[in-house]
């Protein structure tokens, strides 16, 4: 293996390390790849606190490098974090800010976004994280626009990714930026991964049915859920509640947090997702059952809300 001269990549180690997320970084940047030549990445894992450190799965780590490895890095990766409520050491934030100021790229996988957010460097920008942590990130760092639908986002020299596997997508994208499509494709092939995945994390979001609101529109919601295929026009909905359209829209929005049209579209998409996953009906039949009218209409709204076509969703989540 030749002496490598490429960008210095540092992955952070901490007590409670997310093992899978760290493994992603080590696999892509730390695995020997002689076919890539001497210009390939140089990799090191650096502990941000004194060891030995524990990792998820019962491992104990004995790091070779300390936190000062950040000071020499061209790319720093935060492979997950201890939790949304876990404090981020100020020394770590200071070193990450200094690395950013000298041009190093900062990368987070999944909950690692909380570390980058703590530096303040994402303020005014857009970031993503696992959809389960999106509300917590938004609440703790209101200066950041949180995109919970994308697999990864870039804000200048700062990169954030969604759930664990989305970290692979992001790191392959970084390889593509640094060495081109051929190198990214080679790394992806070795991982038995697509070089670029379509869609986003919207397809995985849990959207529980909200609690039945105690209001004059609650009985109507029950009827709509029971017969989504019916032609639920605004006029019909208002008439069933014995209200004017204006009053109905106001009362409906107060009760549900969304407009009648948006609520109905979301309910129909959720029903379509269940039917697609069950695998018993074709797209035309599902569109008719949930009130989308036609397969084309269902495809349009489904892709806009979920990020996949109905066929792609069935392939991923069907029987």
Q: How far apart are CA 130 and CA 125, in angstroms?
A: 17
Report the candidate in 273, 256, 147 with the shortest Cα–Cα distance to residue 204: 273
pLDDT (0 to 100) of residue 202: 52
pTM across the whole model:
0.65
Write out pLDDT tens, residues 92-115.
Answer: 999 999 999 999 999 999 999 999
Residue 196's pLDDT band, with cuts at 50, 70 and 90, is low
Residue 37's φ and ψ, nearest 5 degrees, are: 85, 180
Where do the domains of the chain lie, and which CATH numbers do they carry?
8-202 (3.40.50.880), 218-317 (1.10.10.60)
Task: Answer yes or no: is pLDDT of 116 > 90.
Answer: yes
Write out pLDDT tens, residues 127-160.
Answer: 999 989 999 999 999 999 998 878 888 999 999 9
Give me 93's structure tokens: 């934030």
Q: What percent of the chain has pLDDT over 90?
A: 59
Q: Which residues contact 45 (CB under 8 A, 6 or more apart)?
A: 10, 11, 12, 13, 22, 26, 30, 63, 64, 65
């Amino acid at each position: 293996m030749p002496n490598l001269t490429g960008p210095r990549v540092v992955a952070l180690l901490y007590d409670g390390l997310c093992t899978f997320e760290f493994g992603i970084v080590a696999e892509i940047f730390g695995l020997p790849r002689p076919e890539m030549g001497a210009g390939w990445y140089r990799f090191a894992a650096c502990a941000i606190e004194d060891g030995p450190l524990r990792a998820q799965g019962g491992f104990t780590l004995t790091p070779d490098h300390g936190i000062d490895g950040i000071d020499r890095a061209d790319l720093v990766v935060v492979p997950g974090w201890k939790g949304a409520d876990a404090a981020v050491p100020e020394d770590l934030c200071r070193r990450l800010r200094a690395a950013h100021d000298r041009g190093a790229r900062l990368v987070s996988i999944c909950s690692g976004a909380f570390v980058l957010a703590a530096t303040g460097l994402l303020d005014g920008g857009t970031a993503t994280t696992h959809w389960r942590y999106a509300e917590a990130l938004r609440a703790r760092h209101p200066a950041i626009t949180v995109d919970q639908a994308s697999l990864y986002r870039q804000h200048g020299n700062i990169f954030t990714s969604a759930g664990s596997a989305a970290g692979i997508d992001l790191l392959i994208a970084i390889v593509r930026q640094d060495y081109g499509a051929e190198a990214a494709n080679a790394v992806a092939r070795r991982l038995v991964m697509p070089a670029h995945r379509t869609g986003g994390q919207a397809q995985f979001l849990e959207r529980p049915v909200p609690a039945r609101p105690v209001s004059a529109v609650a009985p109507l919601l029950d009827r709509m859920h029971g017969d989504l295929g019916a032609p639920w026009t605004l006029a019909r909905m208002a008439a069933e509640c014995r209200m004017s359209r204006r009053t109905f829209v106001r009362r409906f929005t107060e009760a549900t947090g969304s407009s009648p049209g948006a609520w109905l579209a979301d309910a129909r998409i959720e029903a379509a997702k269940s039917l697609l996953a069950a695998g018993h009906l074709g797209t035309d039949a599902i569109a008719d059952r949930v009130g989308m009218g036609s397969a084309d209409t269902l495809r349009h709204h489904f892709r806009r809300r979920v990020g996949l076509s109905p066929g792609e969703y069935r392939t991923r989540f069907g029987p």
